[in-house]
Structure 1
Amino acid sequence: MDDPSHSPASAPQPAATPTESPVPTRRSRRAMQTLAMKTDIAEAARALMLERGYVATSIGAIADEAGVAVQTIYNSIGNKSDVLSAVLDLAAAGPAAPSLVPAVMRERIAATRTPPDVIAVLADWFAEVHVRTAAVFQVIAQAAAVDPEIAKLEQRRATQRLVNYGEAAAALRERRGLRRGLSDHEAAALIWSIGHPQVYRTLVGDVGWSLDAYRSWLRTALTAALS
């Protein structure tokens, strides 16, 4: 029998080459570049609209601020109302961008076990998101008063929020957290009303509540309304 110490199989082998990270495809690189460009446009638009207002901010000014061509904005996002909608999306998502709010909330609610956990997620979310979006909602409200297209945007986004809160209502029902006789649609409307941006603007912005006081009130109000 051959000595295994001298067999070819036992000869020193070259070190294994580390597994290389997958190289992004041309399509994925293009998608990342497009996403980065849209973010730059939305950030530029937000800065200008908060400074000048919606009406006084032109697509040309946004293009100059973002360092892109005007047609690039139309091709990648759309018209000025579409840009404002993108500004709201970016502000609402915050650090989770480019994920959209519904995906963020589904993940947070999926991690809950009890009805109070769901209420806490909602209260924390409203306290978190309104800090980022209050100024944008103010721009929308002012523009909606003079621009029918923005009025439609305001209505559409409000309806979207109402639909999305239906998922939170369903999660409460699954965890036996909705009081008897309250439908998911009614529960969604209660969540929508209590967490409305105008309520935050009045209590925190006008009356001067602290963010902690607002969050505590949200938990109390949501619990009383839904349980």
Structure 2
Amino acid sequence: MTNSHPPRRPYESLRRMAQAKQTHADIADAARRLFLAKGWAATTVREVAREAGVSVPTVYAAYTSKVGLVRALVDAADLSADPDRMIAELEAARDPRRQLAAMAGYDRRLFESAGDLIVVIREAGRHEPDLTSVYDDARRIADRTRAQVFAGWPDGTLRSGLDLTTAVDIYAALCNIDVYKTLCIERDWSPQRVEGWWIEALERELLRPAE
């Protein structure tokens, strides 16, 4: 008696998973291109689907909404800046100066790879409450990371009279997308030069001078 069922293709489930991941990536790439070219408000899910070469229901199945797409792009931007590298450098460093350098390096990589997207999300958030939460969540995570690092330093590391909250505020005032874009675009600095200046400025503003 012969088997009437067609033979199963090996690794079919893995193939479907790989195809689904590629579809997700194609949709995210299309959304990023359109958000940067047209802005958040002017971009529709239908246009994202057309740009990605998929159906509108496929976009919704993958990301639920435009806000879901933005959250995915934020996560991808974080990965592009190599947070694992920053964490490894923070763990390996015993010197606060090297830890500041690790964080500044992450910020430079983030702004270099996704600075334009960050600006689009922030500006759109001024009129779209859901996007406001996306930007604010990312900012709070960054602040918590810096506060955790600073809190682990020995007493007397921060400049005299500088409390933890103010130290985090000063870091945010120096290492942000506006400063990065001003120096790189308006003043023609290289990203590496910005990173080096950040490190020097952070040491000067946050750390007690060596005696």
Identity %: 26
Pick from 176, 189, 195: which aligns with 2:169?
Answer: 189
Do 1:39 and 1:90's aligned partners in 2 also have CA atoms closer than 8 Å?
A: no
Give the Cα separation in 2 of the matches to 1:134 and 1:59: 23
Give the Cα separation in 2 of the matches to 1:24 and 1:167: 44
CA RMSD of aligned residues (A): 3.0
Do 1:114 and 1:175's aligned partners in 2 also have CA atoms closer than 8 Å?
A: no
TM-score, length of structure 2 as denominator length: 0.77
Aligned counterpart, 1:8: none
Which structure has the larger Rg over C-alpha atoms?
Answer: 1
Do 1:46 and 1:87's aligned partners in 2 also have CA atoms closer than 8 Å?
A: yes
Give the Cα separation in 2 of the matches to 1:157 and 1:83: 15
Unaligned runs of 5+ in 2: 1-9
Give the Cα separation in 2 of the matches to 1:142 and 1:150: 9
CA offsets 1:37-63 (integer angstroms, 9 cap, x no match) = 332221111111112221121111112
Give the Cα separation in 1 of the matches to 2:167 and 2:68: 30
Pick from 130, 135, 139: which aligns with 1:154?
Answer: 135
Pick from 146, 149, 156: which aligns with 1:168?
Answer: 149
Aligned AA for 2:183? L
Do 1:204 and 1:211's aligned partners in 2 also have CA atoms closer than 8 Å?
A: yes
Residues 185 and 95 of structure 1: CA distance in aligned 2, closer, same or farther (over 3 Å): closer
CA offsets 1:115-135 (integer angstroms, 9 cap, x no match) = 221122122222222111211
Give aligned pairs, total. Answer: 198
CA offsets 1:99-121 (integer angstroms, 9 cap, x no match) = xx4x5532331122322211221
Do 1:115 and 1:176's aligned partners in 2 also have CA atoms closer than 8 Å?
A: no
Query: How much has 1:139 moved relative to structure 2?
Result: 1.3
TM-score, length of structure 1 as denominator length: 0.72
Q: Secondary structure at the match of 1:68?
A: coil
Residues 205 and 197 of structure 1: CA distance in aligned 2, closer, same or farther (over 3 Å): same
Aligned AA for 1:215? E
Unaligned runs of 5+ in 1: 1-22
Aligned counterpart, 2:191: 211
Do 2:81 and 2:110's aligned partners in 1 also have CA atoms closer than 8 Å?
A: no
